[in-house]
Amino acid sequence: MPPLTALLPWACALLLLLALPAALIVLQGKLLFGRTWVIRRTDPGPAAARRRSEAVWLARPGGVQLQGWLTVPVGDTPPRRLLLWFGGRNENVAWTPDLAGWLPDDCALLAFNYRSLGESGGWPSEAACVADAEAAAAWGLARLGLPPGALHLAGRSLGTGVAMQLAARLAAAGRPVASVALITPLKSLRAVLRRNLLLAPLTPWLRSPLDSVAAARALNCEVLVLLAEQDRQVPHAHSHTLVRALQRAGSAVTVHQLAGTNHRSLARTPAAMRQLGGWLLEESAAR
């Protein structure tokens, strides 16, 4: 039998091999939702002068405070609807007042940083962030004096999963949203992780699957899907699978692919913001 000192390096290697997956499982919420590196501003849009933005805070159980921004049209006419935005991984939503300048004049915009992003406290997970999203929707509607049917949702990448889960939850509660806009949507977070050789073995322990295909079965509303020309993070096939699931459930889905864009740039591209604003305008006119 070899001496214990000879076995020590092998034991340490084995412990490290076991500790790494365990750490990834425990820390998965932070790894999946990311952290804020920079605030990426963009073209403020043609209606920027007709918008007023303010920093807001949302109190959650356990003393957690979520940092957000509410942007409303200026003037005597109050907004008639609210667009609730869900950012992607690593996205600080402090940029969203720029997006508001592309929206119809009757539309307010609200966005909160996920837990642990920006100045938001707490620890992120699907359960926590979807519950936060429901609270944010209720807070925004109450703040503006709007009925549940005035709520519209929009999300980018990871945020499409949160938006879909919230839309399904509200539909099940008898409070369906008016519409959902999905920018580079994933069919599920599990499907995205399976494409990564390092992370694929951890998918059985994933606590935040963000299964949008399953959520799609509860929806029956207007849906906009914007795709990048090049997308290495979320393959077009994943997005089209979600589109088909939405259509089977009865949702009317509009799909646009924008030239010269990629997964990272699409949401802040003027053409995409113009597409979102125009679609919301048409959707309102059709009601």
CATH classification at residue 82: 3.40.50.1820
**In the numeric block, which tokens belong to residue 185?**
């949507």
* Rounded distance between C-alpha atoms, residue 200 and residue 135, angstroms: 32
Q: What are the E-state strand segments in the chain? A: 51-60, 64-73, 81-86, 107-112, 151-156, 179-183, 222-230, 252-262
Tell me the torsion sign for CA atoms 182, 135, 205, 248. negative
Q: Note the pLDDT tens digit of each residue in 108-148.
A: 999 999 999 899 999 888 899 999 999 999 999 999 999 99
Task: Please report, as a single letter, which amino acid is at residue 110.
Answer: L
User: Which uninterrupted H or E stretch holds 192?
Assistant: helix 189-193
DSSP-assigned beta bridge partners for residue 58? 66
Owning domain of residue 227: 4-285
**In the numeric block, which tokens belong to residue 277?**
């604003």
Order of strands, edge to edge, in the sheet holding 151-156?
51-60, 64-73, 107-112, 81-86, 151-156, 179-183, 222-230, 252-262
Q: How confident is the model at residue 198 (pLDDT cuts 50, 70, 90)?
A: low
CB atoms within 10 A of CB 125: 18
142-156, 204-218, 239-253 — which is least confidently predicted? Answer: 204-218
Q: Percent of the chain at pLDDT above 70?
A: 85
- What is the DSSP code (8-state) at residue 50? G
* Predicted structure pTM score: 0.89
Q: How confident is the model at residue 167 (pLDDT cuts 50, 70, 90)?
A: very high
Quote the number of domains for the chain: 1
255 neighbors 285 (Cβ within 8 angstroms): no
* Rounded distance between C-alpha atoms, residue 119 and residue 57, angstroms: 10
Average pLDDT of the chain is 89
* Rounded distance between C-alpha atoms, residue 36 and residue 30, angstroms: 11
Which residues fall within 8 angstroms of residue 250, CB to CB, at 6 or more apart?
Answer: 219, 220
Q: Note the pLDDT tens digit of each residue in 56-114.
A: 999 999 999 999 999 999 988 899 999 999 999 889 999 999 999 999 999 999 999 99
- What is the DSSP code (8-state) at residue 49? G
- Angle in degrees, CA 239, 94, 185, rounded to 5: 5
69 neighbors 110 (Cβ within 8 angstroms): yes
pLDDT tops 70 at residue 184: yes
